[in-house]
Structure 1
């Protein structure tokens, strides 16, 4: 897979380069240190995955992603940040970023994030999940869920969209939406992202 790095700190770019270039299935095709360079680079090479710093000196990484999506909508975007602020994560989620990785992550975590995102999954840093769950702990109980709703919750935790959940469980998208709504209501969660975080935090798997 082809990857680009966008960060205004040379040492961060060097560190990421060292992590990526030793992986046989990853190919670093470009680096950028400014928003303008990033937009040009992504439009030119159309990478599979772009690792973008949340806060560059002159622009937000989220603004860069917005601009890049116009020319490279198929590219997957991962935010790199030192921030565990809930507001930053929510803005990234609303924009539809594919991954959110803290800069304190271990190299193997960064590699895992890239591979999962490349395959069409979402990846949120475990430390970010802990932060989100501690700030917004659900009062609902998983025991309230039906067996089918549990299956849907597991799928949400895997980062699957409604269409893929339907295929996995052999049900229609409409039925999936109904189950998702029931899961959110019973667990008193605001949206499917919180449901995914809940499933991962509670280690709810098939």
Structure 2
């Protein structure tokens, strides 16, 4: 993560936008580079401000925040997006994953959770609201997936859910990064996913389901 994490906030509700900007601006090592209320404003300002992370509402007056995320990621190398939404909609989460978002957070979280999520994403990880991820997992009928996973697969999934990089997984597992990449390829095939972000979301959903079964 950079010494100072640069964040841009996109939300059409001024109170929410200013509140989030003030919260983040008060954090050590975090700087809010700018704000926007519309897709048009965001597309004009973000390439100039060059933030590390953009926090984006789903519904904007002139378009979709998820489409904005996709467009920004296509244009700007190294940028990461967090979708920040009022409702825990599994369809929106699925679309956000496909768009390349690194986080999906529902607005009923407290300020500390939001700050931690943005720091996690800024450090190269991913973070998705566990309630929505679990619902998406159920909707995709992934219950059988747990049965085909080895203990190594489950450990790997848990590390993906933590947002660890391949290098960090390799260090924790005492194997080479190439070995981690090979294990991930096999894991993705078992889960029927193409990217680590999709696998991470499933991991969060599975973790919540397992917790519910234990309880």
Is it true that 1:96 corresponds to 2:103 in the alignment?
A: no
Q: How many residues align?
A: 200
Choose the corresponding residue for 2:77, options 73, 97, 101.
73
Partner secondary structure for residue 89 of structure 1: helix
Contact 2:81 2:103 (C-alpha < 8 Å) held by counterparts: yes
For residues 96-145 of structure 1, what are the alpha-carbon distances to aligned partners after superposition, in whole Å with 9 as ceiling and x for unaligned?
A: 11111111111111101100000000010123223224434513446962
For residues 72-116 of structure 1, what are the alpha-carbon distances to aligned partners after superposition, in whole Å with 9 as ceiling and x for unaligned?
A: 221211111123222211111011111111111111111011000
Calculate the aligned-residue CA RMSD, in Å.
Answer: 2.6
**With structure 2 as the length reference, what TM-score do the two structures score?**
0.79
**With structure 1 as the length reference, what TM-score do the two structures score?**
0.82
Q: Which residue of structure 1 lines up, in the alignment, with residue 23 of structure 2?
A: 19
CA distance in 2, matches of 1:67, 1:183: 29
CA distance in 2, matches of 1:195, 1:52: 22
Contact 1:6 1:31 (C-alpha < 8 Å) held by counterparts: yes
The answer for unaligned runs of 5 or more in structure 1 is none
The answer for unaligned runs of 5 or more in structure 2 is 194-198
CA distance in 1, matches of 2:91, 2:148: 30
Partner secondary structure for residue 24 of structure 1: coil
Choose the corresponding residue for 1:145, options 150, 169, 194.
150
